Amino acid sequence: MNNPYKSVPIKSSEITPYSQYLSRRDFMKAAGVLAGSALLAACAPEAAEATPPMALPDLPAKMDELGDPANSFEDISNYNNFYEFTTDKESVARLAEKFTPKPWTVEVSGLVNNPRTFGIEDLLGKFTQEERIYRLRCVEAWSMVIPWTGFTLSSLLKEVEPTSDAKYVRFETVYRPEEMPGQSSPFYPWPYQEGLRLDEAMHNLTILATGLYGLPMPNSNGAPIRLVVPWKYGFKSIKSIVRIELVAEQPTTLWSMVGPNEYGFYSNVNPNRPHPRWSQATERRIGEFNRRPTLMFNGYAEEVAHLYEGMDLNVNY
């Protein structure tokens, strides 16, 4: 079988400059086209087609390898979990508008032969940015299909050469309470941190995403760079990363500190293991009416099940 997750390098000609994209959005907003076209598309497709082509976003239609369409740029960037800003998913984008993702550096350190601090431009230039259309399954039982652009975490880790003592990778989000109002909340142990086992981190499906739909990463999705681990619940995919550390012991994570009985280190998508407060058997795909069954490892079992051979997934949740 062909590997459906094979990455596709993106030609720079396919990437719309963000400024151009934004000015088109501003134009559409001003013309009331965004709201209007959604309504028209639902009840009168022929009328929607009459809208001048210039007013329509030219983001290409995309689908995942299971044949499900990608969610729209609007959905993906306006329905977010990013507790550094707020716990209200529909207010993240607005509160994150003034966040400054540039300049930005990512420090890669710990048990490595070549510790380095990369500027975001170094990372964008050094590693070929590829498209990966992945399902994102939130532990809250909603999901989306997202066309990320980015590069494999393994290619970055190879640059710094983990030593033989390195067994885990720890990730940390930027701490900027002056720009991120949610970080003033005393209910969470900031900064957000996450972790992976080294073999999970080196897996070809694990990427550092720098954009979506070929556009730079929106602030609400974790600009300028975030992790994406598609077979795990979404909270493992930590946003706005400033530090990656190779360590010997399993690192602690924000969610396992907040709710150790609810959020384990592995957090692989598993429809057979309910969350203590709700079922994980089904999910609501954003934009769909009916719930759909949740797939083991979020549909990536063929690629990743071997990583957990011999482990009791009810114990190692």
Nearest-approach distance from CB 170 to ligand MTE, in angstroms? 13
How are the residues of the chain apportioned to helix, strand and coil, as percentages rounded to the nearest 5? 30, 25, 45
CA distances from 205 to 39, 127, 214, 300 (A): 37, 15, 18, 9
Nearer to ligand MTE by Cβ, of 33 and 238: the residue is: 238
Of 155, 239, 205, 167, which Cα lies nearest the Cα of 3? 205
CA distances from 152 to 111, 120, 183, 257, 309 (A): 19, 15, 29, 28, 23
Nearest-approach distance from CB 32 to ligand MTE, in angstroms? 26
How far apart (Å, rounded) are the C-alpha atoms in residues 223 and 82? 11
Nearer to ligand MTE by Cβ, of 37 and 71: the residue is: 71
Nearest-approach distance from CB 135 to ligand MTE, in angstroms? 11
Amino acid occupying residue 157: L
Nearer to ligand MTE by Cβ, of 111 and 169: the residue is: 169
Nearest-approach distance from CB 293 to ligand MTE, in angstroms? 19
Tokens representing residue 302 in the block = 């063929």
Nearest-approach distance from CB 239 to ligand MTE, in angstroms? 4
Half-sphere exposure (Cβ direction) of 22: Cα atoms closer than 13 Å? 8
Nearer to ligand MTE by Cβ, of 125 and 189: the residue is: 189
Nearer to ligand MTE by Cβ, of 84 and 166: the residue is: 84
Nearest-approach distance from CB 40 to ligand MTE, in angstroms? 27
How far apart (Å, rounded) are the C-alpha atoms in residues 208 and 200? 13
How far apart (Å, rounded) are the C-alpha atoms in residues 119 and 105? 4
**Where on the chain is the footprint of ligand MTE (CB under 6 A)?**
80-84, 136, 138, 173, 192, 221-222, 234-235, 237-240
Instruction: Indicate the residue whose CB is closest to ligand MTE.
Output: 234
Nearer to ligand MTE by Cβ, of 7 and 173: the residue is: 173
